[in-house]
Amino acid sequence: MFAQGSLDNFTAMRRAGRSATLIMRPWTHTNWQHVVGDVNFGFAAHYEFTGMRGRVHNLQFDWFARTLGEGAAPEPDTGTVLLFVMGANQWREETEWPL
């Protein structure tokens, strides 16, 4: 139910010339695991991981360091789109949205 707002915010930030990163994965609002309803997307979809980019917490901490902290974050904001492809159960990294 919140996916469209995330997509709209990402595209608005990019149109405004601001850097933004979009992460889309099969989560529910209260279940942060890799199972949604009767579907198990495998451990690769677990909330802690973003495929090739490592732990989602690291991306969040880097964002806080860039946005609120003093100095540079450990990793620069690359403005990427990280998508979990359901069915294939694998991560995909893109540079823009919509694809």
In tens, the pLDDT along 29-51 reads 655 566 776 777 776 666 556 66
State which residues form the domain around 37: 3-51+77-94
The contacts of residue 38 (CB under 8 Å, 6+ apart) are none
Residue 68 lies in a domain: no
How many Å apart are CA 79 and CA 39, to the nearest integer? Answer: 30
Residue 33 lies in a domain: yes
Residue 19 lies in a domain: yes
CB 72 within 8 A of CB 59: no
CB 91 within 8 A of CB 81: no
Residue 70 lies in a domain: no
Other beta carbons less than 10 A from residue 41's beta carbon: 20
3-class DSSP state of 55: strand
pTM: 0.71
Q: Per the structure, how many domains does the chain have?
A: 1
Whether pLDDT at 10 is above 60: yes
